[in-house]
């Protein structure tokens, strides 16, 4: 397609001179340098390949297919003389920059000196894009669509690069991700040529620069690759069909396996429900209900008897322990009651009073005193820890409750409030004698 670039100024060639003359003739001013500023590009463009010709082309000075200069054209750009309202058309060779600059300046409200070449070119491209696309499609559209439809599936399968592995739930296999190749590599047509994806470049929805949206028609590189892919498609079609058949077979096998598994699960469910229904029927038979009642009563009675046995055993065990404790206590008291010269000497040696059962304030102290007395009579020395504990018991100020009760039982009528353990022990011995 033709690339249209606006001229900065008209030159002195045949067609440029003719345009200057015509523009001056149709202007208010007779001076071209003044007259040219009477004209402005309106933005209307018509391509001769279009079916419907606008009136402003048909009624132009030179008629359809010609520039105001008389030269044959394809693109017709509408220009207007803002001083007298005259409408004319010029071709792509004579769409002068100053005509466009004035249009841009008025649209944007900016000085013409600030308008760039890029803005001028964009103005042209915007107004000719659709017509370029229309012209291309009229000439090549049928062939392009036929080739593109014939290879797009192949392109998506072969013009790729490999990515990361992923698990494909459809085939239940680990697969390598296929990513469309966005840039070609290698020499065109060679065996190692790696083609950029045709679909990606033309109309892929994820491509912001897809040519269908930018230019409206494919560029030359895309057409070359499309043609190459089309003429070499058969071998790739066979490979692709084999791949698709294998995949479809795999998917069908998985579907059949899942169907059979679901069928077996359903059968097992039905069987379980039937078994449970039969179990409940048997469970609820009158004879079984009565049997369970009798069994429950028998179990309750056995538990009751066992509980009674356990209670009896506990009482017997407690009684045996009580008797053992009594015997032990009596033995301890007997040990603590019997004195001899050897024991009294040992008490003097350790610096403690001659103690007996009355010195014990509780069962533990009684047991401890009896144990220490036995140890002393066996001529086994006390440890510092034992002696310390013994002295703590001896050094308790007041008489024990047991001593006081014993004195009352022996009819002691003296003051007992100030009695020490030692004094209480002495009084008990005297009263017993």
pLDDT top residue among 398 and 47: 47
User: What pLDDT, on the 0 to 100 scale, is given for residue 9?
Assistant: 67
Domain of residue 190 covers: 140-231
Do both 192 and 153 map to the same domain? yes
Name 202's Cβ contacts closer than 8 Å, sequence gap at least 6: 148, 210, 211, 212, 218, 222
Same domain, 100 and 182: no
Ranking 140-144, 177-181, 237-241, 415-419 by mean pLDDT, the lowest is 415-419
Total domain count, the chain:
3
What's the pLDDT at 228? 94
Domain boundary among 231, 259, 283: 231
pLDDT interval class at 99 (50, 70, 90):
confident
Task: Tell me: pLDDT of 397 over 80.
Answer: no
What is the structure's pLDDT at 404? 83
Q: Are residues 87 and 23 in the same domain?
A: yes
Q: Is the pLDDT of residue 58 over 80?
A: yes
Which has the closest alpha carbon to 399: 419, 384, 385, 373? 419
> Quick one: 96 and 153 in the same domain?
no
225 in a structural domain: yes
Average pLDDT over residues 185-206: 94
CB neighbours (10 Å) of residue 274?
Answer: 10
pLDDT band at 183 (very low <50, low <70, confident <90, very high): very high
Are 174 and 223 within one domain?
yes
pLDDT value of position 50:
67
Inside any domain, residue 416: yes
Last residue of a domain, one of 178, 199, 231: 231
Give the confidence band of 15 by pLDDT, cuts at 50, 70, 90.
confident
pLDDT at residue 166 is higher than 70? yes
Residues 192, 108, single domain; the answer is no
Q: How many CB atoms lie within 10 A of CB 385?
A: 8
Percentage of the chain lying above the pLDDT 70 cut? 95
pLDDT on residue 1: 45
């Amino acid at each position: 397609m033709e690339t249209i670039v606006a001229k900065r100024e008209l030159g002195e060639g045949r067609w440029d001179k003719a345009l200057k003359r015509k523009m001056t003739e149709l202007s208010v001013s007779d001076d071209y340098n003044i007259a040219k500023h009477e004209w402005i590009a309106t933005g209307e463009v018509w391509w001769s390949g279009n079916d419907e010709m606008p009136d402003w082309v048909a009624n132009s000075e030179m008629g359809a297919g010609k520039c105001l200069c008389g030269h044959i054209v394809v693109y017709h750009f509408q220009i207007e003389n803002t001083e007298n309202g005259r409408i004319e058309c010029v071709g792509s060779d004579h769409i002068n920059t100053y005509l466009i600059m004035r249009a841009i300046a008025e649209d944007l409200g900016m000085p013409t000196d600030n308008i760039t070449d890029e803005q001028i070119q964009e103005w042209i491209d915007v107004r000719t894009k659709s017509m370029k696309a229309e012209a291309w499609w009229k000439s090549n559209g049928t062939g392009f669509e036929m080739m593109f439809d014939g290879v797009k599936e192949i392109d998506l399968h072969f013009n790729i690069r490999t990515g990361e592995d992923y698990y494909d739930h459809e085939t239940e296999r680990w697969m390598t991700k296929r990513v469309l190749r966005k840039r070609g590599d290698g020499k065109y047509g060679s065996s190692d040529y790696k083609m950029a994806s045709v679909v990606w470049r033309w109309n892929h929805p994820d491509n912001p620069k897809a040519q269908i949206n930018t230019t409206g028609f494919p560029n030359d590189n895309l057409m070359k690759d499309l043609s190459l892919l089309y003429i070499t498609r058969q071998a790739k079609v066979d490979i692709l069909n084999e791949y698709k058949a294998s995949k479809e077979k795999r998917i069908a096998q998985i579907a059949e396996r899942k169907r059979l598994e679901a069928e077996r699960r359903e059968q097992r469910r039905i069987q379980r429900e039937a078994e449970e229904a039969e179990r409940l029927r048997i469970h609820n038979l009158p004879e079984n209900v009565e049997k369970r009642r009798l069994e429950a009563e028998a179990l309750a009675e056995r538990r009751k008897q066992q509980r009674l046995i356990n209670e009896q055993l506990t009482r017997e065990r407690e009684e045996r322990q009580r008797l053992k404790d009594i015997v032990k206590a009596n033995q301890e008291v007997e040990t603590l009651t019997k004195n001899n010269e050897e024991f009294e000497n040992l008490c003097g040696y350790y610096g403690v009073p001659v103690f007996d059962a009355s010195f014990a304030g509780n069962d533990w102290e009684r047991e401890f005193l009896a144990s220490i007395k036995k140890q002393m009579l066996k001529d086994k020395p006390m440890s510092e820890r034992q002696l310390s504990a013994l002295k703590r018991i001896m050094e308790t100020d007041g008489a024990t409750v047991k001593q006081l009760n014993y004195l009352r039982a022996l009819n002691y009528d003296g003051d007992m409030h100030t009695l020490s353990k030692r004094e209480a022990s002495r009084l008990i011995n005297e009263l017993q004698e």
